[in-house]
Structure 1
């Protein structure tokens, strides 16, 4: 494990705040702009870990009849005809 101590400045970003992570750190962790990370706050420490992307097999395994079934509202919306100047 490679341990590195860095000082980063918390910067204002819109209504929130952010840290600028050096490119070399992103590359070391296999991250890029837009990557998703897990953040944990424990005992006054902020821990940020890369969140691995699920594989296709993992995503498909999460699809069950219960969580992919269409609701009555979905069925009504899908069976509605055009209401304006849509081109079908």
Structure 2
């Protein structure tokens, strides 16, 4: 039996409803407890998929090795140039 062939029940959960997702189904879907998911209805079927990650500039810069942030000579040539379009908008 494939993990996606399992059956479970919908239960009341506060003012909402919920269900248990069996561990084999999570594993087969590549999901883990705590992952963000997106839920939508497609042709009367509930579809759950992993949510697209949301990146913040601060997090990306923090994760970037400092040697990759060093300016080379080409970067330094235009660094202090005046805007030529709508860069400041």
Equivalent residues, number = 57
Equivalent in 39, 49, 60 of residue 57 of structure 2: 60
Provide the residue aligned with 1:40 in structure 2. Answer: 40
Provide the aligned C-alpha RMSD in A: 2.5
Task: State TM-score, norm by structure 2.
Answer: 0.50
4+ residue runs over 3 A deviation: none
Task: State TM-score, norm by structure 1.
Answer: 0.51
Deviations 1:40-83 (A, max 9, x none): 112211111112434xxx4218xxxxxxxxxxxxxxxxxxxxxx
Provide the residue aligned with 1:17 in structure 2. Answer: 17
Gaps of 5+ in 1: 62-88
Higher Cα Rg, which structure: 2
Q: Give the number of the structure with larger relative contact order, counting CA–CA contacts within 8 Å between residues 6 or more apart.
A: 2
